[in-house]
Amino acid sequence: MSLVLTTASVPDRDKVAYWNDAVSRALVPMTVAPREDGPFDGRISSARLGYLQVSTVEADAERASRTPALIARSSEPLVAVGVQVSGTATFVQEGRRAEVGAGDLVVYDTNRPYTFDYPRRFATHVFQLPRRALGVPDGDIRRVAGDAIGTGDGFGAMLSPFLTALASSPTGAYPPAVANRLAGHVVDLLATLITERAHAGGTEADARSHLMRRVLDHINRNLGDPEMSPEGIAREHRISVRYLHRLFEGEGTTVGRFIRQRRLEECGRELARRGRTAPTVSAVAQRWGFVSPAHFSRTFRAAYGVSPREWRDLRTSQDGPRG
């Protein structure tokens, strides 16, 4: 369902207060101050597209500020991308200043203070999504925030027209499944844009490869933790679960399958080790993150074609007695 808020029928003396409330309801809590004398005019429409909030703002010259006190009133960190439709804006975040013209994009983090200064009447589209859904490191967002991204500037040349068309279409007309898929496409495109801008000296593949190495190292160091899960891994690396799964899709496997494979490899290696006091199968299974010995035995047999005990007997007998 769309939300449309306008100052058109509001008494002149109440327009600014109304507009502050309207912007805070449709976007995030902000303080808005007109830059000109006289009655203020503004209109904002907002709708959901899956987990995206898509809004269009048209208003007279203003200065919008997001302060630490207002940030404290918000329940969830969001990342936003603004598409300037008409007019210009000066955007400041993280000590960086961007002059935004018609057609330009600007990425920002609603969990950090920022200001938008519009010197004349303007229109802009704003896409907001949960920070956790984006799947890129905080550092990458901070490096990109405060840049004006032009339509002739790399990936922005493709993203700006797509976002403009999407914001201009009736979002309520999409069935939920289609809306969710479109939202996923926007997230993927935005993540790619941020990665491209944040690692201008390298490639997106370089960034993904570095992140994948960190994830694999984390998994290998925590194989014995039975509570290890995709959610916990994603949280540790400040990426979304969705992005974590995409990383492993690129390797031709899944997170769960890789963890299981590595645990089985370590169990197999330990069971094949000869010694005077060989550990029990259940002790080995528990040491490498398997809670249920029965489940471990079934999983091991499915992977290696023999039971853990048969594996141990075969491997130790093949090695022969030590001299």
In this prediction, residue 154 carries a pLDDT of: 64
In this prediction, residue 276 carries a pLDDT of: 63
Residue ranges per domain, the chain?
3-201, 204-323
- Which segments of 39-95 does DSSP mark as H helices, in order? 68-71
Mean pLDDT by 10 residues, the chain (323 residues): 89 96 94 94 93 94 94 86 95 88 92 95 95 81 84 71 85 76 84 79 61 87 93 84 85 90 90 77 94 93 91 71 40
In this prediction, residue 322 carries a pLDDT of: 40
In this prediction, residue 323 carries a pLDDT of: 36
Contact 65, 42 (CB under 8 A): no
d(CA 198, CA 4): 35
In this prediction, residue 124 carries a pLDDT of: 97
Adjacency order of strands within the sheet including 31-34:
31-34, 62-66, 114-118, 89-93, 96-100
d(CA 87, CA 225): 55
CATH code of the domain made up of 204-323: 1.10.10.60
In this prediction, residue 171 carries a pLDDT of: 62
In this prediction, residue 300 carries a pLDDT of: 94
Could you report how far apart the first and last alpha carbons of the chain are, in Å?
79
Q: Does domain 3-201 have CATH number 3.40.50.1860?
A: no
Contact 54, 46 (CB under 8 A): yes
In this prediction, residue 321 carries a pLDDT of: 45
